[in-house]
Structure 1
């Protein structure tokens, strides 16, 4: 396909300029989403002071976003396929910006939690729509490898820079600006989308919308995340946790039954999972999301609570991670034209696991140079090697009319993985401390959490080695 042809059910490209503007728009959108996933972490202590959060309530500043984002991603991807990727992307950006503005003006804990939940709704619409646009614009070959390399660099750099931006804004402008800063970024993304993305033709509608499936999937995924994040208050073996998770499993099982038997247009075609690339990439992505979300959390806390860094300094100390991700992403682009995606994912998983194992040696009497810098560089380079190939693998063999659905599925596994990992590993680290807040206890808990992250990445490498096909699949038409 040349740059002047139209992708079926995708954007109508108008030469290199149009595809370049589409790439710029998607890159800014992904940077925005990634920044928002980490920007509040450094500001949490100041948010607690400013709004009067207690220890348990404060975690819902993170969890409220995770609940709606993770719970609605499948639905968001399907809506983008059905009604047009540009239209849904524009709507999602608008909702995200308005929620961010409201969050900055919050005066009570409930106001901020509600704003974060609505942010998640906007993100669940815009994330799969943006990724589907990228998939349709760059369906194969060298342009696709480079486009996903840029996307992965913006994704991971946004996550790392979110810590820096959050630290600087919290210390010098006030915690409110970790919310306000999203508004100009969303405005920039809206302008690029309006100018650079052509109105795409929605996928041909194959019957009535799958409302029962949408309700079951959203309720099941939301309850699953809810049950997991509540383990910090109710233990994994408590009646409350077990009942919540059981109901979630029942709802998701019912969803799968509906998708298999419905005469409506299914929310997700189960045949997608017979594609080894889709199945393997999503399993890999689940483990990667669990490890990386936990890592950002543990490192930011170790820097502040053990090493005594302030919010701004902690943000600066996370910069090497962003640099390493960019290096890894560039390497993935250069190798992507000669090395199969499976090989890159195996190598990236092993390198990232090695970095996490290094983090597993964190100690109370450590230092940034000895305990954080080197491990950050190794982990981030490995992460950069993984990110672009896993996204490209999960979408390259998918028909254009299912690009949004596949993108929503991939984003969903990343978010569910992040919620699972953060809740499970955070609880494990806390239990390891025995409730103590001494530097020795905290460092030991964070080190244990990082060691488990290394095991998760080795598991991801094993999935890539055993599930993904040896050669890259051809794009569907």
Structure 2
């Protein structure tokens, strides 16, 4: 793949702003409808059992197409893939807002997820291409990490304000002006690149297997709450997903030009970081949804009040990811920062176990929000940078798609599993004669504990699997690229440093 010419510093940050805006919209649109579901249900007449499809349709389109989109970005050009995905996402958002019936909303949510996958899958590949200076890359990853760490919280904040202040249609319409402005800027500022060409890896059979397998897997996970883990529906579709994905692995091992070369997983850091990403998102995203339900169903908060309650989490995530993550990563290394920040997340989730049926916000919810925001804001940039360690720049889009897929599957599985666990425990308590508020609180507590266990498992993976990646001195310490800068691992100016494109961890 031919690398694009480096844009000017002004255009570089303008392009990055567009990428971050899309990255944040992708995450926000997973959670923004959470506090709007009841309004949508009332307006469009959704039955209770079908309401979850407003979220599931988006997740299936997003998770099912991420891996394919990342590889296609490497083959046909990442800018072309990004602009196409952003265009589809914007049009689908407008049609979601205009939906007058259930079928139209669900179909457009799927298209919205598909457009999000096309754009999101290549974002990291573009960022790593336009930022070769280590200090700039560290700063960029900190800002990017804020969008991923705080996106769910910002979605709930925006959803609450728009639903209470205007109506649920604007939960989707808000994407349209942002998307149109982003398209204009993206065309002008993102450097053009030429992909390797479809003849370098257009494995259409592999693409069909992995796309159908991923979609079926996400569908199975997303409908667990409706059908149950042991139902014929879940087992049947789950087996089907396993068969398709197994066939894809077999195809990847034997094809001359596979869609996903299995050798990419030889990197301990790439494989380990994706596992950490899966567990971290599985715990934190599901917690964000569940704590929003807790605040409305137990504490009695309105949608807008629930949104404002999330502000400290978003502020903490922003402050830590933007102001601290780059400095800490360069001083201590990605693995060390990741382990410490995951410990903060786990502590915040464990604190949530003490939330009562009549919570005092400052005492019972605020500490968890601050710890979760700070930990996520520091963890996400380190996780993403570690997961982008590939052998060749031509694999950057694929690595970006893998990272996105790990997060999406973790999100879907976490939400499905933890909501099912909370609901089952609540029903058991109600059957035993417990009052409704206490039963709900007990169910939420059990799911919070499972979320904490997922993050503790992520810490174990980081400790045992990942290898440290030295990032150089923090800004101000001096280095070969100018004052306060040492070359980023993976660049030609960093002799003797484990390379991102040929990492030490790539050797089994």
Report the TM range for the smaller structure's normalisation: over 0.9
Which residue is 2:329 aligned to?
A: 336
Equivalent position SS for 1:428: helix
How far did residue 438 of structure 1 move?
1.9
How far did residue 225 of structure 1 move?
1.3
**2: CA distance between counterparts of 1:398 and 1:333?**
23
Which residue is 1:318 aligned to?
A: 310
What does residue range 70-469 of structure 1 map to in structure 2 within 5 Å?
70-139=63-132, 141-203=134-196, 207=200, 209-263=202-256, 265-329=257-321, 330-434=323-427, 436=430, 438-469=436-467
Segments of structure 2 that go 5 or more residues without pairing to the other structure are 471-497, 503-508
Verify the 8 A CA contact 1:163 1:315 in the aligned structure 2.
Answer: yes
How far did residue 205 of structure 1 move?
5.0
CA distances 1:59-94 after superposition (whole Å, capped 9, x unpaired): 111111111110110001011111111111111011
Verify the 8 A CA contact 1:10 1:133 in the aligned structure 2.
Answer: no
Verify the 8 A CA contact 2:75 2:201 in the aligned structure 1.
Answer: no
Verify the 8 A CA contact 2:154 2:314 in the aligned structure 1.
Answer: yes
Verify the 8 A CA contact 1:260 1:270 in the aligned structure 2.
Answer: yes
How far did residue 304 of structure 1 move?
1.0
Tell me whether 1:475 sits opposite 2:468 in the alignment: no
Verify the 8 A CA contact 1:306 1:439 in the aligned structure 2.
Answer: yes
Range with greater deviation from structure 2 (453-462 or 439-448):
439-448
Verify the 8 A CA contact 1:24 1:192 in the aligned structure 2.
Answer: no
How far did residue 204 of structure 1 move?
5.2
C-alpha RMSD of the superposition: 1.5
**2: CA distance between counterparts of 1:57 and 1:287?**
27
Range with greater deviation from structure 2 (320-329 or 464-473):
464-473
**2: CA distance between counterparts of 1:422 and 1:259?**
30
How far did residue 208 of structure 1 move?
5.5
CA distances 1:259-317 after superposition (whole Å, capped 9, x unpaired): 01012x32111101001111011000100111122011111111111111111111111
Instruction: Quickly say closer, same or farther: Cα 1:139–1:251, change in 2 above 3 A.
Output: farther
Verify the 8 A CA contact 1:149 1:388 in the aligned structure 2.
Answer: yes
**1: CA distance between counterparts of 2:129 and 2:200?**
23
Range with greater deviation from structure 2 (79-88 or 393-402):
393-402
**2: CA distance between counterparts of 1:282 and 1:327?**
24
Equivalent position SS for 1:233: helix
Verify the 8 A CA contact 1:294 1:418 in the aligned structure 2.
Answer: yes
Which residue is 2:479 aligned to?
A: none
CA distances 1:165-220 after superposition (whole Å, capped 9, x unpaired): 11111011100110101111111221221121121121355546111111111111
**2: CA distance between counterparts of 1:424 and 1:39?**
20
Segments of structure 1 that go 5 or more residues without pairing to the other structure are 1-7
**2: CA distance between counterparts of 1:40 and 1:179?**
9
How far did residue 140 of structure 1 move?
5.7
Verify the 8 A CA contact 1:21 1:192 in the aligned structure 2.
Answer: yes
Verify the 8 A CA contact 1:167 1:313 in the aligned structure 2.
Answer: yes
Range with greater deviation from structure 2 (151-160 or 328-337):
151-160
Instruction: Quickly say closer, same or farther: Cα 1:189–1:157, change in 2 above 3 A.
Output: farther
Which residue is 2:481 aligned to?
A: none
Range with greater deviation from structure 2 (32-41 or 417-426):
32-41
**2: CA distance between counterparts of 1:261 and 1:16?**
44
CA distances 1:346-368 after superposition (whole Å, capped 9, x unpaired): 11111100100011222212222
**2: CA distance between counterparts of 1:177 and 1:207?**
43
How far did residue 423 of structure 1 move?
0.4
Which residue is 1:67 aligned to?
A: 60
Question: TM-score under structure 2 normalisation?
Answer: 0.90
Equivalent position SS for 1:434: helix
**2: CA distance between counterparts of 1:140 and 1:245?**
44
**1: CA distance between counterparts of 2:353 and 2:37?**
24
In the alignment of these two chains, the number of paired residues is: 469
Question: TM-score under structure 1 normalisation?
Answer: 0.95
**2: CA distance between counterparts of 1:16 and 1:110?**
46
